[in-house]
Amino acid sequence: MAKTPETSNHTSIQKRTEAIQQHKRQPHKLLPFVGNPRQDMPQGIAFSLQDYCELVDTTGRIIRADKAGAINSAHSPILRRLGLCEEQWLTLTTEFEQHFCYAVGAEQMMQAFKTHTHRKRIAGIRQAMRLLS
């Protein structure tokens, strides 16, 4: 039994949080989150990724501590454990493709990519500094 959702092997929450931590898109094998229900809704889960993570985290906290699956109340909230504030999270999950084109990652990794690909400039470095620091 894992101590936190993001360390629970073979679960969708682990796959999704790994993608978040690695600054990658959500896994294509998993059904995407499409937000609130609306007319002409795309196929997916009518929920946001943030709400899903918080739901899993909160549910694990209210399960009795003496039962399997309980998350210790001493653990910080999941977004804090992932190193993201709510503003960064919302921007990354709702505007990802507007901020990043062909490279995503921490500033140092994007600089290395720029050098490796012999580019003079690379789009998204400022956003990486703001959203992924």
Domain boundaries, the chain: 1-84, 95-133
- The one-digit pLDDT tens for each residue of the chain (133 residues) are 788 888 889 898 899 989 888 888 888 888 888 776 666 667 777 778 888 888 888 877 776 666 666 777 778 888 778 777 777 777 777 777 777 777 777 788 888 888 888 888 888 888 887 877 6
Whole-prediction pTM value?
A: 0.48
d(CA 46, CA 96): 19
55-62: long-range contacts (C-beta < 8 A, 24 or more apart)?
56/5, 56/13, 57/5, 60/4, 60/5
